[in-house]
């Protein structure tokens, strides 16, 4: 527990200054985090099979580029250039021909690299754009994940009896989910209608916020499923007591993805 508390202070001490400053410095910081996140995702796969070195270099470069793409946009929506996506697909599928050995590199490897670059790049790009567009939007998303995760944990500890997904995350309970979503919705909604938009429809903000809380918990379970599939406890040990970047950003990534879909409704 002591190590986890110290790790929590470390996260806040490093992340908070960049979050407050925003703009270029936050964009570069998130690009570095996206590279670490990609490293963690590739590492769990490489526990079973290694990727060609040069393709990993391309994967890191493209993920960082994707993360930094259009982060200074004056509107929230990312005007994505499909040339980038086409290049990502081309660069990882073509080596199957040139390597010519399915044991060294095959379609499954190519699709894993394509999916990893697009998933990590897009997720961290959305987080960066959200912060640089408006500080309070990213704070709203962070509040959703923090409050929901915290109260899901404590509610589950105190009154949790019914397992939520025992095959994926044995400690999570339905009671914990309900408690986390309720408190996450309450606190984040209060922030939204008092700080972000006081004219917003309260019932609608409650509904959207509750959906985002649920998406955060879904993200937690999805990443837990990935770790369980590869027999990993954590994605890495970079943060003492907390695991890796993906262990801390799992809920936030899914909240950011859902927010990009629902943003226009708020």
The predicted-structure confidence for 138-150, as pLDDT tens digits, reads as follows 999 999 999 999 9
Q: Please tell me the predicted confidence (pLDDT) of residue 128.
A: 93
Q: Please tell me the predicted confidence (pLDDT) of residue 121.
A: 94
**Which residue has tokens 């995702």?**
41
Q: Please tell me the predicted confidence (pLDDT) of residue 57.
A: 96
To 5 degrees, how large is the angle CA 193–CA 142–CA 183? 65
1 pLDDT higher than 60: no
181 pLDDT higher than 80: yes
- Are the C-beta atoms of residues 134 and 122 closer than 8 Å to each other? no
What is the value of pTM for the model shown?
A: 0.92
Rounded to an integer, the average pLDDT of 202-215 is: 96
To 5 degrees, how large is the angle CA 19–CA 143–CA 116? 70
Percentage of residues in the chain having pLDDT higher than 90: 71
* Tens digits of residue pLDDT in 212-221: 999 999 999 9
Q: Please tell me the predicted confidence (pLDDT) of residue 17.
A: 92
Rounded to an integer, the average pLDDT of 103-117 is: 95
Strand partners, 243: 239
* Tens digits of residue pLDDT in 22-33: 899 999 999 999
Among residues 123, 170, 173, the alpha carbon closest in space to that of 152 is found at 173
């Amino acid at each position: 527990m002591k190590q986890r508390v110290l790790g929590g202070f470390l996260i806040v001490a490093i992340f908070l200054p960049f979050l407050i400053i925003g703009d270029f410095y936050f964009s570069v910081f998130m690009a570095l985090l996206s590279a670490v996140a990609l490293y963690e995702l590739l590492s769990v796969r490489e526990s079973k099979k290694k990727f060609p070195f040069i393709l990993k270099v391309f994967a890191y470069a493209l993920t960082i580029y994707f993360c930094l793409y259009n982060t200074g946009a004056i509107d929230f929506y990312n005007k994505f250039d499909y040339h980038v996506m086409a290049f990502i697909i081309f660069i990882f599928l073509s080596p199957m021909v040139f390597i010519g050995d399915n044991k060294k590199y095959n379609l499954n490897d190519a699709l894993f690299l394509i999916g990893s670059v697009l998933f990590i790049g897009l997720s961290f790009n959305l987080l960066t754009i959200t912060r640089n567009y408006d500080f309070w939007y990213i704070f709203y998303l962070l509040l959703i994940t923090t409050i929901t995760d915290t109260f899901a944990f404590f509610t589950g500890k105190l009154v949790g009896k019914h397992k939520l997904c025992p095959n994926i995350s044995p400690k999570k309970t339905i009671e914990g989910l309900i408690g986390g979503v309720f408190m996450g919705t309450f606190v984040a909604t209060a922030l939204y209608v008092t700080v972000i938009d006081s004219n917003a429809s309260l019932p609608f903000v409650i509904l959207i916020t509750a959906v985002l809380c649920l998406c955060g918990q879904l993200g937690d379970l999805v990443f837990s499923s990935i770790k369980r599939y590869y027999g990993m406890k954590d994605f890495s040990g970079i943060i003492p007591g907390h695991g890796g970047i993906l262990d801390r950003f799992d809920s936030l990534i899914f909240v950011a993805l859902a927010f990009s879909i629902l943003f226009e409704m708020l």
